[in-house]
Chains A and B, each alone.
Chain A
């Protein structure tokens, strides 16, 4: 996979992009995590780990601003996320379990619709992105005729054109074949090298040197660096 969007290194930054202070989340009368504090620095890949039900998905959704019902502080570039929601949303890309692909539309139309609210991207770039995820020749086939893995790749094509510095990727490796996983690993690494920050949950073993780990567990939270 080859990224289409190459950022120019104008703004040099070393302060944390996203900072969580004392996050606590309770669900159905059960505390998922408490006193969870961490910083996401530019140029890092962080893997959120933990057994099923430890709150990995919930954490990512909280960071993305989808879930309410938590307490603590979330800061974007040093200021509260709540006060600059639109700026934050413009700089954050979230891919969830459900990737946001309409089965009635073609990969091309899906990608175009997903980018429509973010930044103008030419169709040429979009089709290059689709080719980059191995969907060459499928650009104009309705997504419902594609396999689960191919549909997932449509969503991943977004990563090839994304300019958001922060990526929150929830179980993106699901239904992706071995080659795809390798390519995606390379992509994440490349993104980190460009200065982007990636937070990822997965049950795959990732072979990424220098990867950070954020471990959620029933017995409490450890933040390993």
Chain B
């Protein structure tokens, strides 16, 4: 070593605020998604196709479709979200962006919350927007369609949030897609039950405020707990790399 006095270095100052960092994560995900627009359309096409299968495969009768319509749309939306979850962390994992995300000085669960929000904006929200059209195709009445859209609006973020846990757990595994579905579908059941149940209650003329409030409680629970679990899972999965 040279005989000079030890050189000095200054420790880095405080980091960017949490909100700014979340915004950065969100903005990058949105930008990447819009560079690859085909990937945005895929879950939507899948959604439409699954819904189409029911009149073809079961019965095109108005009475059947009117009764089963909300359930069909909910199941189709659930499957589309499930299909898109595999990409939530995979590309980031492959190109190393995820490592850099974990090493950001902000709390990881908040960054994951930002990522999940981007995921919902890119998959869940378009599904909700498409729902009225498909609702008309399965002969739902106007009131039911409105309630269905509301339940999907509250429910799809829950799907994204819970799904993020599964996506983080199965990251980098062989046949991750199938495994992801196995892990996550049981956890989706309550949301599905309340989503379709609320529409059924509305169709019978009941007031749905209480049910929607309950779904809102699910959403709050998912927002507060799921990012923690996903962050823990992500750190574990990255530890293999």
Contacts and interface: CB of A to CB of B under 8 A. Distances in A.
B105 A118 contact: yes
**Range class of the B interface residue count:** 35 or more
Nearest to A43: B7
Interface in A66-108: 66-69, 77, 86-87, 89-92, 94, 96-105
Contact of A117 (B8, B16, B31, B236): B16
B14 A90 contact: yes
Contacts of A97: 96
Contact of A90 (B12, B27, B31): B12
A139 interface: no
A103 B31 CA distance: 12
A118 B23 contact: no
Nearest to B238: A66
B2 interface: yes
Given A98-B95, A103-B95, A105-B31, A117 B12 contact: no
Interface string A165-199: 10000000000000000000000000011111100
Given A105-B31, A117-B16, A7 B9 contact: yes
A99 B103 CA distance: 13
B235 interface: yes
Contacts of B15: 86, 90, 117-119
Contact of A42 (B9, B13, B94): B9
Contacts of B111: 117
Given A11-B10, A42-B7, A165-B10, A98 B16 contact: no
B95 A68 contact: no
Contacts of B150: none
A100 B96 contact: yes
The binding surface of chain A is classed by DSSP as loop
A194 B4 CA distance: 13
A49 interface: no
Contacts of B27: 113, 116
B23 to A, nearest CB: 7
Nearest to B6: A14
Nearest to B94: A98
A86 B28 contact: no
B32 interface: yes
Contact of B9 (A66, A102, A165): A165
Contact of B28 (A17, A102, A120): A102
A66 B11 CA distance: 21
A114 interface: yes
Contacts of A113: 24, 27-28
Interface string A3-22: 00001111111100100000
A108 to B, nearest CB: 11
A219 interface: no
Interface of A: 7-14, 17, 41-44, 61, 64-69, 77, 86-87, 89-92, 94, 96-105, 109, 112-114, 116-120, 142, 163-165, 192-197, 210
Give 8 closest A-B pairs by Cβ, nearest first.
A116-B24, A98-B96, A195-B9, A43-B7, A117-B104, A195-B7, A14-B6, A100-B96
21 contacts: A41-B6, A43-B9, A64-B103, A66-B238, A68-B239, A86-B106, A87-B105, A91-B11, A97-B96, A98-B94, A100-B99, A101-B97, A102-B28, A105-B31, A112-B24, A116-B20, A116-B27, A119-B15, A120-B20, A165-B11, A165-B12
Given A99-B95, A195-B7, 8 more contacts: A13-B6, A44-B1, A66-B238, A94-B99, A98-B96, A102-B97, A112-B24, A116-B27
